[in-house]
């Protein structure tokens, strides 16, 4: 009975603390083993993001797509091999749209020169996403990112299909799939704000937003129809900015776009269909600093989803292949 009480107390404590604390992650994890790692990663990210803001958006999305499939373990980085010809990165939600792999490679190479065999690729993905948000927000979104993740050895394209929310989900489906990752409705709404940067292929929204009746603003729909074919194909599938107002700024404009019905996805528009999530959208749109403060917490929480320990994972020498 006493042991059961202790276990219950620990479980309750973990629900009250940051997920990172209960997953063994900690801020400054490499302060002794590789003290310059976060500076090294940030320098590499800066080089790429300042040349192309879209790479920054890709890095933020890369962490999300990593963490929702097999946990935050760098499994999305693994290349196909004869033994595993269909890893996560080749799954339809990821290929060909997922970006930022070359940044992770460059950061890993630089880190390995300073501290060989110490820093996981999973942690580099988390640091890089954090840094992308920092630069795209013009240094307003400052996140203390805990580390201590290990790299996974399993990566399968079907897992990405099963775990990543598609752009046509309604609000109930969104809340449910985020709940499977230990994230609540507010986390879902706050993390959706990352759609304030980046681009989307027309095929991701034309069928259910333009080809049929929807709540999309008429003028915005006309703009999209001028840029997208009526029937996008693999050979002809252009991309458009997700936020046409401030496309390269990591800010709260996304929520203003949701309210104005000027968003691409059904899953974006769905945030207005529940009174609870609609109130969150309004707060994020109208209260200065509200979204940024909540994004920092939700981002760290997401970056702690199902992390692996040393028995379950490894420290890859090359982020694209298991050791």
C-alpha distances in angstroms, 276 versus 97, 100, 209? 31, 34, 23
Task: List binding-site positions for Ca(2+).
Answer: 66, 69, 71, 73, 75, 88, 196, 243, 246, 251
Asked if 282 and 256 touch (Cβ cutoff 8 Å), the reply is no
Q: What is the DSSP string of 170-182?
A: -HHHHHHHHHTTT
SS3 160: helix
Question: Could you give the residue numbers annotated as active site?
Answer: 65
Cα separation of 190 and 196, whole Å?
11
Q: Which of 188, 176, 193, 160 is nearest to 71 (CA)?
A: 160
* Annotated binding residues for heme b: 195
- Nearest by Cα to 74 from 129, 9, 138: 129
Helix (H) or strand (E) holding 201: strand 199-201
Residue 102 structure tokens: 């070359």
Answer for the pair 155, 78: CB distance below 8 angstroms, yes or no.
yes
Q: Using DSSP bridges, classify how beta strands 239-241 and 199-201 pair: parallel, antiparallel or unpaired.
A: antiparallel
Annotated binding site: 66, 69, 71, 73, 75, 88, 165, 195-196, 243, 246, 251
- Collect all residues with Cβ–Cβ distance below 8 Å to 149 and sequence separation of at least 6: 25, 72, 73, 74, 120, 122, 123, 126, 307, 308, 313
Q: 320 near 157, Cβ under 8 Å?
A: no
How far does the chain reach from its first CA to its final CA, in angstroms?
Answer: 43
Tokens of 313: 């994972």
- Asked whether 282 and 214 are in contact (CB, 8 A), the reply is no
**Residue 50, exposed/middle/buried by CB under 10 A (0-12, 13-18, 19+)?**
exposed
């Amino acid at each position: 009975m006493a042991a059961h009480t202790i276990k219950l107390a620990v479980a309750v404590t973990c629900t009250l603390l940051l997920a990172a604390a209960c997953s063994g992650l900690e801020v400054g994890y490499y302060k002794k083993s590789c003290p310059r790692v976060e500076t090294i990663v940030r320098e590499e990210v800066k080089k790429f993001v300042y040349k192309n803001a879209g790479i920054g958006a890709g890095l933020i999305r890369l962490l999300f797509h990593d963490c929702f499939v097999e946990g935050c373990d760098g499994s999305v980085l693994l290349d196909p091999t004869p033994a595993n010809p269909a890893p996560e990165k080749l799954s339809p939600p990821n290929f060909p749209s997922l970006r930022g792999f070359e940044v992770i490679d460059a950061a890993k190479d630089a880190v390995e020169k300073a501290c060989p065999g110490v820093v996981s690729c999973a942690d580099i993905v988390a640091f890089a996403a954090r840094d992308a948000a920092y630069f795209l927000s013009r240094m307003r979104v400052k996140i203390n990112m805990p580390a201590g993740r290990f790299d996974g050895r399993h990566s399968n394209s079907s897992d990405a299909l099963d775990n990543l929310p598609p752009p046509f989900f309604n609000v109930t489906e969104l809340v449910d799939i985020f709940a499977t990752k230990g994230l609540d409705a507010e986390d879902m709404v706050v993390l959706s704000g990352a759609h304030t940067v980046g681009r989307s292929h027309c095929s991701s929204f034309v069928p259910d937003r333009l080809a049929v009746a929807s709540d999309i603003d008429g003028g915005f729909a006309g703009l999209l129809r001028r840029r997208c074919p009526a029937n996008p194909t693999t050979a002809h599938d252009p991309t458009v900015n997700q936020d046409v107002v401030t496309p390269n700024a990591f800010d709260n404009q996304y929520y203003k776009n949701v309210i104005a019905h000027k968003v691409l996805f059904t899953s974006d528009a769905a945030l207005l269909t529940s009174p609870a999530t609609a109130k969150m959208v309004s707060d994020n749109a109208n209260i200065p600093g509200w979204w940024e403060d909540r994004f920092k917490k939700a981002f760290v929480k997401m970056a702690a989803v199902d992390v692996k320990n040393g028995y379950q994972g490894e420290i890859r020498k090359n982020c694209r292949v298991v050791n």
